[in-house]
Amino acid sequence: MNWGSLAAFIAMGGYGTYVWGSFGVTVLLIAIEVLLLVARHRAARRQL
Amino acid sequence: MNWFKYSSPQTFYPLAGRMVPLFFALAALFAIPGLYIGFFVAPTDAQQGESYRIIFIHVPAAWMSMFIYVVMAFWAGVGLAFNTRLSSMMASALAPTGALMTFIALWTGSLWGKPTWGTWWVWDARLTAELILLFLYFGFMALQAAIDDPRRADKAGAVLALVGVINIPIITFSVQWWNTLHQGASVSLTRSPTMAATMLTGMLVMALAFWMYSIAASLLRARSIILERERNADWVREWREAAP
């Protein structure tokens, strides 16, 4: 276990902006891609 | 086993439909332990502190950005050589996910570069070649979108994709051929890895998660492309009448 508290986990030893900026944007973009893919497939089926 | 059984859109569509949830589940199955190892098992880096944890998405995304390109060019080439329409559809389905992986690699690399190198961006060989990879994906998608006839779009895209493959070894060997700010490879096939075992494990598990995700996303997009292009084919009409 690396972290004594939740605050320490969020702070990431002072690199929180960079680490969470990386993980956050990655998760966000992947979520957007999944939503777009599902919407596209639904639309493709609807328009048959 | 007849390997060509699933080479037509008609047989591939339901097969992909069964594979999409499977590969999304596998992606989650690898991402959970991967993130756990990355944040709770892997120790703090002696030189970079906690900033190095970006590696757990940066390297998997960068690997996938190159791997997807090679697979995309392969299917585009097969489509060009044998005129098989499903191959070309698969190439088109891979491009946006490949572009996403490339963007994630660049984005996380930038956020990692600032605290470790003191700059968001530098025009070194590795970074520039990866940016060119992003433009190759964009070029492939834009070219296909600009041509109305799908089969002609497939052929034009295939030529671009195949020419662009030259960029992949340039990215791979850029850190050897040129003096780059980007570090050399920590993981290679010929040497033992130059990183802690738990860090390496976390990175490889996350790479598997990204790989499984890329397969799931590409197959789901391929299903949409099949329906969009085969709208007027007999099998789609029959399938629609059988299961509305």
Number of domains in chain B: 1
- Provide the domain limits for residue B159: 27-43+52-180+201-242
CB contact under 8 A, B227 and A44: yes
Dihedral (CA of B213, B219, B224, B229) sign: positive
Considering only CA atoms, give the Rg of chain B. Answer: 20
Query: Which residues in chain A are contacts of B103 at CB distance < 8 A?
Result: 29
- pLDDT tens digits, one per residue of B171-193: 999 988 988 899 888 887 777 77
**What is the pLDDT at residue B21?**
98
The model's confidence at residue B244, banded by pLDDT at 50, 70 and 90, is: low
Per the model's pLDDT, the better-predicted residue between B243 and B183 turns out to be B183
Q: Is B49 helix (H, G, I), strand (E, B) or coil?
A: strand
Task: Kindly report the nearest CA distance between residue B139 and chain A, in angstroms.
Answer: 19
Q: Is residue B17 part of a domain?
A: no
Q: In sequence order, what DSSP letters do the residues of B86-154 get, joined into one string?
A: HHHHHHHHHHHHHHHHHHHHHHHHHHHHHHHHS-S----HHHHHHHHHHHHHHHHHHHHHH-SSHHHHH
**What is the pLDDT at residue B112?**
96
Q: Is residue B115 part of a domain?
A: yes
Cα(B169)–Cα(B80) distance, integer angstroms: 22
**What is the pLDDT at residue B154?**
96
Measured CA angle at B146 (ends B64, B11), to 5 deg: 60
Q: Is residue B82 part of a domain?
A: yes
Q: Is residue B191 part of a domain?
A: no
Cα(B85)–Cα(B19) distance, integer angstroms: 20
Q: In sequence order, what DSSP letters do the residues of B155-211 get, joined into one string?
A: HHHHHHHHHHTTHHHHHHHHHHHS--SS---SS-SSS--SS-HHHHHHHHHHHHHHH
Q: Is residue B189 part of a domain?
A: no
**What is the pLDDT at residue B4?**
79
Mean model confidence pLDDT for chain B: 94
Q: Is residue B5 part of a domain?
A: no
Query: Which residues in chain B are contacts of A40 at CB distance < 8 A?
Result: 221, 224
The model's confidence at residue B243, banded by pLDDT at 50, 70 and 90, is: low
Q: Is residue B120 part of a domain?
A: yes
| DSSP bridge partners of B45 | B49
**What is the pLDDT at residue B237?**
86
Q: Is residue B140 part of a domain?
A: yes
pLDDT of A1 over the 60 cut: no
Task: Kindly report the nearest CA distance between residue A26 and chain B, in angstroms.
Answer: 6
pLDDT of B3 over the 90 cut: no
For B219, the closest chain A residue by CA position comes to A37
ipTM score assigned to the predicted complex? 0.95
- How many percent of chain A have pLDDT more than 90? 85
**What is the pLDDT at residue B89?**
97
Cα(A9)–Cα(A23) distance, integer angstroms: 14
